[in-house]
Amino acid sequence: MTYLDRLDSYKDDMLKTLAASISKKSVLSQPVKTEGGELLPFGRDIHEAFIHILKEGEEMGFDVVNVDNYGGHIEFRASEEIQDPEVLAISAHIDVVPEGTGWTSDPYTMVEKDGYVYGRGVADDKGPLIACLYAMKAIKEEGIIPKKTIRLVLGLDEETDKDGMYYYLDRVGQPDMGFTPDGSFPLVNGEMGILIFDLAQKFNNRPGKDELRLTRLEAGTAPNIVPRLAKAVISGSEEEYNLIRNKIDLYCAETGYNVTAKKQGISLVITAEGLAAHGAHPDLGLNAVSIIMEVLGKIEFGNEELNDFIFAYNEYIGFNYNGEKIGCGFYDENSGPLIFNIGMANINEDLASVTVNIRYPVSNTDKDVFGGIEETIRDTNIGIVKKMHESPVFFSLDNPMVEKMLKAYVDETGDTENKPEVSGGGTYAKVIDNTLAFGALFPGEEDTMHQADEKMSIESFNRMARIYARAIYSICCE
């Protein structure tokens, strides 16, 4: 029996472990302290999911480390004969994005149907994490002693600020090399730079009580998700409401979009429905913010500053996903075009703000992006509130680690047509030295990460585990 044969014998166990992990709702929540005073920095739910995976690793006979509940790892140590061995870090994350709406089953009860498993986190990133864990187990149980230490690093807030990984690395140190199973196959040899910022405008004047008012607009749950729903609350007269309904009916007939207007108390609530998608692929979704802003652009409110903000949104953003309209439509051969997503929107009678998530080409800088935007909005009253920046990363294809990973993929799949690519995703490769994204989405597969009814093919689950086992063996054991 080879380590790959042994891995094949774990198929049922892998699914059971994945189902148990999916049942842990590992969505970021407020920090809490236990009765004993122990801090759980990302909330109780993520902590429970973290401890579950650590225990799985411990039961497999690996060394496990918990770094103050900010992160940890499961470790397969190199041969004792090797002094100061190099470390390969496989960095995956246990946290998931909020489930959102539109599911046809409980997102935290894994369902098997027609060769797929469904549940929040099956693809991003619990499934790939567990595939790597069992790949390590197969090598260990075959009696193979690695020449490099193999470390499965468990991240707890990858979907938000990655503060946990920074804390972990400060105390454990950077590995020598690594990969994160949080991208696509064959592999991702570069990641675009990422920016999160607000475009915001304060309102100095309020409309009169008898004027048509937009009292509230809300949309989105995270910067890196295309919002599926957007709601606006309007205050006015019944005559104005009827005119708005007529405009919405005409708009829906012209566009085919789903927009409704319903009376709620003395207000009119407008709801726009789009299609959620990952912020790295906004073209695969339909942004509800852009729909509702286009509708609002057909309405004259009493606040001229609000009208100006809505006009600027439709003029410089709209349904454009590459930043061209707002002055940052950059492009290079390795990356392709810049990716522009509106992830959240909040408007009240004092302030309007939209949260922007940009992924820019590896040959550009954040200064290029902000410079173009600032020039475009110079004559408006809109300002930029910077929140987060991750610089791009890039690996050449003749990098030895890249070559071994590619060989593992080709040897398992026989696929020589699909090539490595630069991704718009923001993974742990931005945080951890000498790390790139390797899997786990296969070419041609539907990407349901961050969406309702997130799914993963069971066949792909088993295949990715074999690819990871091959790569780990090649890098650490040969």
pLDDT digits (tens, 9 = 90+) for 404-436: 999 999 999 999 999 999 988 779 999 999 999
- Say yes or no: 430 and 384 in one domain: no
- Say yes or no: 248 and 285 in one domain: yes
Position 245 pLDDT exceeds 90? yes
Residue 232 contacts residue 270 (beta carbons within 8 Å):
yes
* 106-119 confidence digits (pLDDT tens): 999 999 999 999 99
Q: In this structure, what CATH number is given to the domain that contains residue 335?
A: 3.30.70.360
- Say yes or no: 55 and 142 in one domain: yes
| Helix boundaries (H) for 88-195 | 126-141, 163-172
Question: Residue 161: its pLDDT value, please?
Answer: 83
**Cα R_g (the chain), whole angstroms:** 24
- Say yes or no: 133 and 253 in one domain: no
Class of residue 30 by CB neighbours under 10 A (exposed 0-12, middle 13-18, buried 19+): exposed
CA 303 – CA 297 distance, rounded (Å): 13
Range of the domain at 64: 3-192+393-476
Q: In this structure, what CATH number is given to the domain that contains residue 22?
A: 3.40.630.10
CA 211 – CA 234 distance, rounded (Å): 11
**Spatial CA neighbour of 176 closest among 370, 403, 380, 435:** 435
Q: Which of 349, 375, 390 is the last residue of a domain?
A: 390
CA 303 – CA 109 distance, rounded (Å): 47
- Say yes or no: 342 and 431 in one domain: no
- Say yes or no: 225 and 337 in one domain: yes
Work out how many domains the chain is built from and give that number: 2
- Say yes or no: 250 and 104 in one domain: no
- Say yes or no: 214 and 352 in one domain: yes
CA 168 – CA 172 distance, rounded (Å): 6
Q: Which of 390, 418, 435 is the last residue of a domain?
A: 390
Residue 55, classed as helix, strand or coil, is: helix
Q: Which of 390, 419, 438 is the last residue of a domain?
A: 390
Comparing 124-128, 278-282, 435-439, the range with the smallest average pLDDT is: 278-282
**Spatial CA neighbour of 298 closest among 232, 361, 238, 364:** 232
- Say yes or no: 314 and 454 in one domain: no
Question: Residue 12: its pLDDT value, please?
Answer: 98
Residue 179 contacts residue 434 (beta carbons within 8 Å):
no
- DSSP letters, 366-411, are HHHHHHHHHHHTTTSS-EEEEEEEE--EE--TT-HHHHHHHHHHHH
* 198-240 confidence digits (pLDDT tens): 999 999 988 877 899 999 999 999 999 999 999 999 999 999 9
- Say yes or no: 65 and 198 in one domain: no
Residues, the chain: 478
- Say yes or no: 413 and 361 in one domain: no
- Say yes or no: 80 and 115 in one domain: yes
